[in-house]
A and B are shown apart, each in its own frame.
Chain A
Amino acid sequence: MTNGEPIISIRGLQKTYHAGEVAVHALRGVDLDVQPGEFVSIVGPSGSGKSTLFHIVGGLTPPTSGTIHIAGRDLLGMSDSERTQLRKKTVGFVFQKYNLLPTLTARDNIEIARDIAHHNGPLDPQFLDVLKLLGIQSRLDHKPRALSGGEQQRVAIARAIVNRPAILLADEPTGNLDTENSNAVLGLLRDLNGRLGQTILMITHNPEAAGYGHRIVRMRDGHIE
């Protein structure tokens, strides 16, 4: 972890959705800095704005107002295609439900992320080491239906970091796993953070899981407490 220019810098971030005629203020002015290599756990009750924060940081939706800089790029005012570019190379996602493509093998699930980011050629040796670290190299030729929940989530982690994104966003990564697999996945995330310096933001309801990060950020009603 370094103390220099934040890799994520957020000031006064607001997001308002419109559900019919009702305006929903999901974020009401969030300020947050994340340093490169930091592992931040974000906790809070349902409706606190955690997922909305993730969606904005991940470029899935634009903010309504405020400033947000990711790896030096200003997200406010980005077009859809610019945010698509952001998701290709700057941000990696890990989801609660793994979200692997069911028709592809584990290897091809990882490869498609590279294909989308226009990365060709063989996997680099460092990534092959990561696959060993994740313990999935013998399972790469299986489709998701033949993998356990823990294995699927590890493949999802591999897919999320194959393009060396600046930030890894993990949304309840252990939500669908038993205790043993949850601990394994959380341990892997901590390892990736420690060995590779991967910046990680993780949403979790689990206080034990939150403890794996360097710090915990608590959200409530669209604010950071």
Chain B
Amino acid sequence: MTNRLVFENLKHRPVRTLLGVIAISIQVTMVLTLVGMSEGMLNEQASRARGVGADILIRPPGGSIIVSGGQMDARFIPFIDKQPHVTAATGTLIFGTDLFNYTTGVDLATFNRLNGGFRFVEGGPFQHPDDALVDEVYANQHKLHAGDTITNTNHKWRVSGIYEPGMLARMVVPLATLQDLTGNTAKVSTMYVKVDTAANIPGVIAELSDKLKTYKVYSMEDYTSLFSATNIPMLTDFIWVVVGVGVLVGFLVVFLSMYTAVLERTREIGVLKALGASPGYILNILLRETVLLAVAGSILGILLSYVTRFIIRDLVRSSLIQAIVPRWWLPAAAIAIVGALLGCLYPGLKAARQDAIEALAYD
């Protein structure tokens, strides 16, 4: 019976109910989109790292997995190439052009020994120092074909080839040209190493760690496992800030909605009290209405996260990638419900404590 009253109360004011559900859904969508984007982008970067075909990856000392600039001496590469069980070694220079886009300088001769080289869908490898290669995703986003010119890193590049995505980066240029342009002569950001057999990977890692001292030497498996939000403190903090904003939005919307509902239903509250309803009974009704709003908003928010993914991927065609992260559905819904319940507390307690005689006299 109480559930029927709750449901009918929400139906009685459809616009207010709908606005409450939409506001809560926006909160949930915000969280899921942000988490989905961080996971999507990180997964995509990890996938491209794996796509290089290397077994070992060498990085400079420091915390972040996102590296920009040359911090390692490229003269180590021939030394590494000569180590026992190493079949190929190469270095790349990563230079960030904006928050999510990086240009990568690569030495095609040594890079191709790792993996057979890029698989071209149009054009081919570098012919000139100012040539660039872009992957299909980048080409579609920027409407590029082989022979076109693009400006990046304050430099004009000629697109010599377009390759299948999933390897290394969206855009690559000759290593030497990028080193000169960015003042990183003989420097690289990352070194990749291919080993003859998988069984020898640990041994080669141990050997290189000992010889390279300050540099960090990872198996590709260990390295790609680092691509999670928890390894990027700023990103984790940002996610929690968005979660906090979401809770605040849910709290405020529900507070205003329930406060209005309590004022509007003052006489009804008086009637329920005259019938013998306890303060707990009155509060229970409002809490159930709130939970129902929050659950409906959460479900809508989850569905809307598919819409945001579609917008980002197919309409806006940005460089961002949003994954759908089902393991965050329950936490996002729980956050929405907690925020909503907090918002309901004050109006609920006000209703529960309402004097019955005053409420019955309310017009």
Interfacial residues, chain A to chain B (CB-CB below 8 A) = 55, 58, 60-61, 81, 84-89, 93, 95, 99-104, 108, 111-117, 159
* New A-B contacts (20) at CB < 8 Å, excluding given A61-B357, A103-B8: A58-B274, A60-B274, A60-B357, A85-B276, A87-B273, A87-B274, A87-B275, A95-B274, A95-B360, A99-B270, A102-B268, A103-B5, A104-B4, A108-B4, A108-B8, A111-B1, A114-B1, A116-B272, A116-B276, A117-B276
A115 with B276: CB separation less than 8 A: no
B8 nearest CB neighbor, chain A only? A103
Min distance, Cβ B262 to any Cβ of chain A, angstroms:
15
Cα distance A109–B214 in the bound complex, in angstroms = 78
Interface size classification for chain B: 20 to 34
Cα distance A211–B162 in the bound complex, in angstroms = 100
Cα distance A149–B276 in the bound complex, in angstroms = 24
Interface residues of B in 345-363 (CB under 8 A from A): 356-357, 360
Min distance, Cβ B358 to any Cβ of chain A, angstroms:
10
B2 nearest CB neighbor, chain A only? A115
Interface residues of B in 226-276 (CB under 8 A from A): 267-268, 270-276
B274 with A101: CB separation less than 8 A: no
Contacts of B277 in A (CB 8 A): 84, 116
Q: Count of A-B contacts with CB under 8 A?
A: 67
B278 with A84: CB separation less than 8 A: yes
Residue B211 at the chain A interface, CB threshold 8 Å:
no
Contacts of B360 in A (CB 8 A): 95, 99
Cα distance A114–B276 in the bound complex, in angstroms = 10
Min distance, Cβ B128 to any Cβ of chain A, angstroms:
76
Min distance, Cβ A173 to any Cβ of chain B, angstroms:
14
Residue B12 at the chain A interface, CB threshold 8 Å:
yes
Which of A58, A87, A104 lies in contact with B8, CB distance below 8 A? Answer: A104
Residue B156 at the chain A interface, CB threshold 8 Å:
no
Which of A61, A81, A85, A116 lies in contact with B275, CB distance below 8 A? Answer: A116
A101 with B5: CB separation less than 8 A: yes
Min distance, Cβ B355 to any Cβ of chain A, angstroms:
8
B278 with A81: CB separation less than 8 A: yes
- Chain B CB within 10 Å, residue with most, of A85, A89, A95: A95
A114 nearest CB neighbor, chain B only? B1
A84 with B276: CB separation less than 8 A: yes
- Chain A CB within 10 Å, residue with most, of B2, B268, B275, B356: B275
Residue B310 at the chain A interface, CB threshold 8 Å:
no
Contacts of A117 in B (CB 8 A): 276
Interface residues of B in 276-294 (CB under 8 A from A): 276-278, 281
A115 with B1: CB separation less than 8 A: yes
A162 nearest CB neighbor, chain B only? B275
B274 with A104: CB separation less than 8 A: no
B12 with A103: CB separation less than 8 A: yes
Contacts of B275 in A (CB 8 A): 87-88, 93, 112-113, 116, 159
